[in-house]
Structure 1
Amino acid sequence: MNYPFEPFTDIPTLQQTVTDSFCELVQRVVAENDVFRVSLSGGSTPRCVYEMLSQRDLPWDKIHWFWGDERNVPQDHDESNFRMVNTALLSKVPVPAENIHGVPVDVESPEQTALRYETTLREHFTGERPVWDLVLLGMGDDAHTASLFPETKALDEQQRWFVENWVPKFDAYRYTMTYPAIASGSNIWFIITGQAKQQALKQVLFGNSDPAQYPSQRIQPTRWFVDAAACEA
């Protein structure tokens, strides 16, 4: 298949390249604008990248950290994306507390949680859209990205930046950036690894347009970081 990228032969090389590319982008953007704003992804592959970033020398006081999606659990819960990033990276480097913008999860009030985070985003970004320097995204084996899952309400949202999203397959709420907020990123990177992603990736790239079933089809990444295992021969 004619993929629009050169697959990485192994995951460690992919993770190293993402880490190097992240650092290069930060240095360039901070030199130009004196600030860097990133929307983070959950998942095991990004976690290793975050761990590698903790060993780098970056202008930590210039970087603002946001989350593209979150689970409906407290921030100290094992499944929390905030906890994962904090454990892997943020707790290990001198990031000012005011630069860390985690989702303020109230498990009993998903709607209010999403509205509070939307307010945080709109106070930080004063334009019509949040202008990210980088949006990190993964893709599930059902072609979801962030917490934009197939046939869920958030797929149709055009005005809000961040919403609660009921996901029937989990019988639970997730929190997610919406398509318009993701699309405003200056750099949007897809990180996709593993054989389980083959069919989803094939549908996203080469299948008929059906974003209700394959939400990642609506993402226009500026870079792909995909390993060979995720690509069908």
Structure 2
Amino acid sequence: MIPRLVIAPAAQDVGECVAAMIVRAAQGAVSRRGRFLLALSGGQSPLAAYARLASGSGMPWERTHLFWSDERCVPPDHPDSNFGAANAALLSRVPIPPDQVHRIRGEEDPAAEARRYEALLRRVAGEDLPRLDVILLGLGEDGHTASLFPGSAALDERARLVVAVDAPSEGMHARITFTLPLIAAGRRVVFVVTGAGKARAVARVLEVQEATLPATQVAAASRALWVLDEEAARDLGDALRRAGCRAWARQTRPRV
């Protein structure tokens, strides 16, 4: 399968590109369905997009509902909280109604919270299998995405939409994560990946297409779009790099 990707010059360009995509998707969703359902991701890669959304215009915040594709089992003010990072970069700076910000309660019992969050998603979306308008995802150096790690039983889950997962290694936090069926149901799934530290993982997913990697499975099931900076794309072959750079040129071409 040929991946869909955009390769931007730098991380800041990735942020601007992703923010613009989100605004367009939000406006379209509100026009067609009256609201916009967006799942945010953790990590450093999406922070530039969050900052751009916070400083930009055109986003229908009063019609937007926010979710998280995964969360560490920590309180919201913990330095490792995905909610906390998004709150600092975005939520504290925009006029979104507080009752439309649906964080995963990482401080609660993980299994019970996963059940609560799944029920919440179904209730807000009004569907047994919610179709979120945009789901943002990152990529770990080991090929994980959301909190679906290589070898984890969560990767094989097909009935539940949100599950608790054990800490992936000693010294790390347990997690709560979307599962593959929920991600694959998204109207748009966007991987946002920046930095040279992710280059090898990007190549393993997009060039080699290693079937055992969670990100490979998620990308194939969801027909995801990848937005990379040049550092993250540096280990890709020439054909993929040319395709990604052409896609970036189309993104930035002036509209008349």
2:15, 2:50 within 8 Å by CA — same for their partners in 1? no
Shift of 1:32: 1.6
Task: For 2:158, give the aligned amino acid.
Answer: Q
* Higher relative contact order (Cα pairs below 8 Å, separated by 6+ residues): 2
Query: 1:95 & 1:6 partners in 2: Cα distance?
Result: 29
Helix, strand or coil at the partner of 1:143: coil
Cα-to-partner distance string for 1:7-39 (whole Å, 9 max, x where unaligned): 212111111111112112211221221100011
Query: 1:44 & 1:91 partners in 2: Cα distance?
Result: 18
Shift of 1:99: 0.5
Matches within 5 A, 1:42-121: 42-57=42-57, 58-107=59-108, 109-121=109-121
Equivalent residue number for residue 242 of structure 2:
none
Query: 1:206 & 1:71 partners in 2: Cα distance?
Result: 30
Q: Judging changes above 3 Å, is the alpha-carbon distance between structure 1 residues 162 and 9 closer, same or farther for their aligned structure 2 residues? A: same
2:11, 2:48 within 8 Å by CA — same for their partners in 1? no
Of 219, 226, 229, 1:227 maps to 229
Shift of 1:208: 5.7
Helix, strand or coil at the partner of 1:191: strand
Equivalent residue number for residue 161 of structure 1:
161
Query: 1:208 & 1:42 partners in 2: Cα distance?
Result: 23
Which deviates the most, 67-76 or 40-49? 40-49
2:76, 2:107 within 8 Å by CA — same for their partners in 1? no
Equivalent residue number for residue 41 of structure 2:
41
1:72, 1:173 within 8 Å by CA — same for their partners in 2? yes
Cα-to-partner distance string for 1:131-151 (whole Å, 9 max, x where unaligned): 110000110111100010111
1:104, 1:116 within 8 Å by CA — same for their partners in 2? no
Equivalent residue number for residue 128 of structure 1:
128
Equivalent residue number for residue 188 of structure 2:
187
Q: Judging changes above 3 Å, is the alpha-carbon distance between structure 1 residues 3 and 125 closer, same or farther for their aligned structure 2 residues? A: closer
Task: For 1:77, give the aligned amino acid.
Answer: H
Query: 1:218 & 1:3 partners in 2: Cα distance?
Result: 12
Helix, strand or coil at the partner of 2:166: strand
Equivalent residue number for residue 245 of structure 2:
none
Helix, strand or coil at the partner of 2:113: helix
Shift of 1:3: 6.8
Query: 1:42 & 1:208 partners in 2: Cα distance?
Result: 23
Task: For 1:193, give the aligned amino acid.
Answer: T
1:193, 1:230 within 8 Å by CA — same for their partners in 2? yes
Query: 2:64 & 2:163 partners in 1: Cα distance?
Result: 24
Shift of 1:55: 1.5
2:4, 2:224 within 8 Å by CA — same for their partners in 1? no
- Count the aligned residue pairs: 229
Equivalent residue number for residue 9 of structure 1:
9
Task: For 2:216, give the aligned amino acid.
Answer: Q
Shift of 1:5: 3.0
Identity of counterpart residues, as a percentage?
35
Is 1:199 matched up with 2:200? yes
Cα-to-partner distance string for 1:56-109 (whole Å, 9 max, x where unaligned): 2322110000000000100111111111111111111111111010012235x2
Helix, strand or coil at the partner of 1:44: coil
Cα-to-partner distance string for 1:140-185 (whole Å, 9 max, x where unaligned): 1111000101111211110111110113324531110000000000
Q: CA RMSD in A?
A: 1.8
